[in-house]
Each structure stands twice: as C-alpha cells, then as structure tokens.
Amino acid sequence: MYQNNPNVLSRSVGIVNHAMITSETTPRPRGRPPAASREAVLDAASYRYLRGRRVDVQAIAHELGLGRTTIYRWFGSREGLIGEVLVRAATPLLDEARAGARGRGGEALLDTFDRLNRSLMAAPALRRFVEQERDAALRIITSNKGVAHRRMVERIAAMIEDEQRGGTYDPPVEPTTLAYAIVRLAEAFLFNDAAAGIQGDVDRLREVEAAILGVRPSLARSS
C-alpha cells in the first residue's frame, strides 16, 4: 500500500535501516524475552475465535509465556476477553455497513443497521460461537456490563448523533436511549428469541427498527 508514497517509503526504509544497525551493533540483554502484550493476547484469542476454536485462556497464556492472572488482570475474565474479540470482529462489519448505506438521515441509519444485521447473521465464526457456547455467548453479547453490548450502543449512538448534528435526522428520543433500543432489538432477533419465532428474521427486524427510528422501510433492502 506504500509503493506510490515515497515519503512513507523513505521513512519505512529509515526505520528498517536503524533497526538493522541497532540489532548488529547493540548487545542483546540476557535473560527472559519481553513478556507478551495485551494486544498479543487479543490476537491469539481472535485467531482461535475466527477459526471456530474455543478461546482457552490457559492455552493462550502458555503459548505466550504469560500467567493466567495477567490475562485476567487485563480483561477481567474469559468472557471479558471474548467480548473484546467480538468487538474487534464486529467493528469492520459496522464500518462497512455505514460506508455502504444509502439514503439520508433515518433512511441511512436504517440501511446501516440492516446491513450490519445481515452481516452478523452471515458471520460463520459468530454463528459457531453461539452454537457451541450458547449460554456464555448470550451473556457476553447481551450483558449490560459487557464490553460487546456497551461498545455497540456507543457506536450506534454516535451514528445517530452524527445524523442529528448534520440536520438530516431528528431522533424521537435521546440518541443513547434510541441506540440502546436498536441494539437490544438486534440481540433479540439475531440471537435470543427462538421461542417467539423471530430469531434470525432480519426482514422483520428491519421493519421494527424502521418503526423505532420513525422512518418508512421503503428503501430497497440491502443487497
């Protein structure tokens, strides 16, 4: 991605040359290598999640040369770690949905949420996780105290506020409250309410979201 940017390329080459010189002329300290970072733990957990493997804290700790207590200090619990993984996996889906949304104001919001819901339904790693660890998965996805639910509400609220500031949308209630309702609806329709016969029904979810947003669901459904 940097081939056509000589300034970035020159800076990159400079960094590489400095690193090569440093590694050749500076003695390496003896002893244990630096401990793995929080980001390395998240990478290892994401690798397992995306391949349908169980996120095993003990195995990750052993792989990275960390103690489990360190991982728990960083993420609080296994469920906290998985919540961060889910946020990482969902973020590009949300960004893509927002970028591809059609219309303005409430219509753009509705199309964004519809695209996101359909992407989540089609995500194989998420589907496998819910199937394999249903009780834990629902707690991680829907808990008010969990990072996954909280971050999604924050992102949805920010989108609503953007449209409000731009003068293209007048939300029927305060943006954070509206975002909370939108996220709760999606959680119920996508994951939680098989007993009500609505689980996985993204078309009906779109209709209900349209009603809550106060817009007509006339815009063609996301392709």
Task: Write the DSSP assignment of 10-76 as a string of letters.
Answer: HHHHHHHHHHHHHHHHSPPPPSSPPPPPHHHHHHHHHHHHHTT----HHHHHHHHT--HHHHHHHHS
Mark 70-109 as b/e (b = at least 16 C-beta within 10 Å): ebeebbeebbbbbbbbbbbbbeebbeebbeebebebbbbb
**pLDDT tens-digit series, residues 61-74:** 999 999 999 999 99
Q: In this predicted model, what pLDDT tens digit does every residue of 5-39 receive, in sequence order?
A: 434 333 333 333 333 333 333 344 443 445 689 99
> How confident is the model at residue 201, as a pLDDT?
83
- For the segment 170-220, what is each residue's pLDDT rounded down to a tens digit? 999 999 999 999 999 999 999 875 544 446 689 999 999 999 999 976 644
**127/209 same-domain check:** yes
**pLDDT for residue 153 is more than 90:** yes
Kindly tell me if the per-residue pLDDT of 57 is higher than 90: yes
pLDDT on residue 7: 41
User: What's the predicted TM-score (pTM) here?
Assistant: 0.78
Residues 87 and 171 in one domain: yes
Single residue among 75, 90, 109 that ends a domain in this structure: 75
| 143 band by pLDDT with thresholds 50, 70 and 90 | very high
Q: Is the pLDDT of residue 90 over 70?
A: yes
The CATH code of the domain that includes 133 is 1.10.357
Among 117, 154, 115, 148, which Cα is nearest to 49's?
148
Joined tokens for residue 100: 């591809």
Residue 1 falls inside a structural domain? no
- Number of structural domains the chain divides into: 2
Q: Is residue 63 domain-shared with residue 83, that is, in the same domain?
A: no
Residues 112, 176: one domain?
Answer: yes
Same domain, yes or no: 96 and 180: yes
- Looking at every residue in the chain, the average pLDDT score rounds to 83
pLDDT of residue 221: 56
Report yes or no on 219 lying in a domain. no
Q: Structural domain of residue 12, as residue ranges?
A: 6-75
Q: Is 221 inside any structural domain? A: no
